[in-house]
Amino acid sequence: MASSLVDTAAAANLCRLTAAGRRPARSFLNCACSSTDCRVSASYPIGRMLSGVRSAARKKLFRSDPADQLLGINSWSECGTDHHHWWTALENNFVLEASDDEYGGVVVDADRLPSDNAAFARSLAASLSYWKSVGKKGVWLKLPVHRAELVPLAVKEGFKYHHAEEAYVMLTYWIPDEPCMLPANASHQVGVGGFVINDQMQVLVVQEKYCGSSLDGAWKLPTGFILASEEIYTGASREVKEETGVDTEFVDVVAFRHAHNVAFQKSDLFFICMLRPVSSKIKIDETEIQAAKWMPLEEFVKQPFIQEDHMFQKVMDICIQRLRKCYCGLTPHHVVSKFDGRTSTLYYNVAEPEDVNCGAA
């Protein structure tokens, strides 16, 4: 906390306004007034960063706010080092709560936005001026869905849409007069297909309830999309379970496809996973699956949509080579990188013979 003895009338005036509720509920001031003076203490965690900011930048930041009248100051020229605590107090009250990111930008605290729309608009404009004056770069503004009315205010200020989820909209603002270096929205979606084959050389196949005309009546592998924060190997088993009711064990990734301009013009990564069944009873998900069954492998690969499509045919060739132990897939291994200190999954062919599941030389 920083405290300073200031002009009695000015401090008392501001303290009265605070007590009367004319300042925001999260007031930055602690007032202690006697018959002769008022002592005001103010907390300024961000304000300590402002010691080198030019007075012109300060004036610009609060150009629309009658701070001088509120404080009993006749002009900004009076705001020297003796009044730095007032600057800090004002800065805390008007600049949006935010934290620094590791790339020289800021992330606005979505849980501490002003409750009033007009106050948000003023604070946003003031914040951009302040962040520009101290050399910040990118600004990340996450607006919860229940504060959707703030989106037009941010767009009017120059923010651009980055991405949206069910519960929020993310907007960004690039401050420097140079090409934007903020990372773009996620460019890929990730899908999995489960090649499940039992000891009788039967493949678990499904007919989807909703599909394109090219797959009408075709029997295909169970497929689906990976969920957020889900591993490929767990997602493949989950999709098979959800669509067919069959429990499986993950074996390896035998191949993956990379396609572009798919759904919503995104790129698509699709992983073909070999799975071992640990149950056989089928119970379909009737919301998306028309039928499911165990089909002999030979019958499955003879379907026209496989024979007439080079990619499907190649995928089946790879799966068959894997069954013959003439091909090794990629198996998951948990590793920790010093780059971020996090555990992640690395898929690769193991080199140690005792660990090789496929038996290939």
DSSP string, 150-189: GHHHHHHTT-EEEEE-SSEEEEEEE-SSS---SPPSP-EE
Q: What is the mean pLDDT of the segment spanning 2-24?
A: 43
| pLDDT score recorded for residue 358 | 59
Residues 69-97 have pLDDT tens digits of 333 333 333 444 434 444 544 555 589 99
Q: Which two tokens stand for residue 114?
A: 């002003």
Residues 215-225 have pLDDT tens digits of 778 999 999 99
Question: Which position has the higher pLDDT, 50 or 110?
Answer: 110
> Best-predicted range by mean pLDDT among 212-216, 295-299, 334-338?
295-299
The H-or-E segment that residue 307 falls in is helix 304-307
Q: How confident is the model at residue 33 (pLDDT cuts 50, 70, 90)?
A: low
Question: Which position has the higher pLDDT, 210 or 166?
Answer: 166
| pLDDT score recorded for residue 210 | 81
Interatomic CA distance for residues 3 and 137, integer angstroms: 32
Question: Which position has the higher pLDDT, 222 or 41?
Answer: 222
| pLDDT score recorded for residue 8 | 43
Q: How confident is the model at residue 29 (pLDDT cuts 50, 70, 90)?
A: very low
Q: Do 192 and 235 meet the contact criterion of CB atoms below 8 Å apart?
A: yes
Question: Which position has the higher pLDDT, 22 or 324?
Answer: 324
Q: What is the mean pLDDT of the segment spanning 249-261?
A: 96
CATH architecture group of domain 188-355: Alpha-Beta Complex (3.90)
> In this prediction, what percent of the chain has a pLDDT beyond 70?
70
Kindly report which listed range (27-36, 71-80, 167-176) carries the lowest average pLDDT score.
71-80
| pLDDT score recorded for residue 340 | 85
SS3 254: strand
The H-or-E segment that residue 55 falls in is helix 55-61
pLDDT at 112 over 50: yes
pLDDT at 32 over 70: no
Question: Which position has the higher pLDDT, 145 or 62?
Answer: 145
Q: Where are the domains of the chain?
A: 2-92, 98-174, 188-355
| pLDDT score recorded for residue 193 | 97
Number of H helices, E strands in the chain: 10, 16
| pLDDT score recorded for residue 45 | 37
Residues 292-328 have pLDDT tens digits of 999 999 999 999 989 999 999 999 999 999 999 999 9
Residue position matching structure tokens 């996090």: 342
pLDDT at 213 over 80: no
Q: What is the mean pLDDT of the segment spanning 135-162?
A: 97
Residue position matching structure tokens 């602690």: 30
pLDDT at 152 over 80: yes
| pLDDT score recorded for residue 212 | 67
Residues 114-133 have pLDDT tens digits of 999 999 999 999 999 999 99
| 98-174 is a CATH 3.30.70.360 domain | no
Q: Could you tell me whether strands 106-108 and 138-144 are parallel, antiparallel, or unpaired per DSSP bridges?
A: parallel
| pLDDT score recorded for residue 17 | 46
| pLDDT score recorded for residue 351 | 55
Question: Which position has the higher pLDDT, 199 or 66?
Answer: 199
Q: What is the mean pLDDT of the segment spanning 198-202?
A: 96
Q: If you average pLDDT over every residue of the chain, what do you get?
A: 79
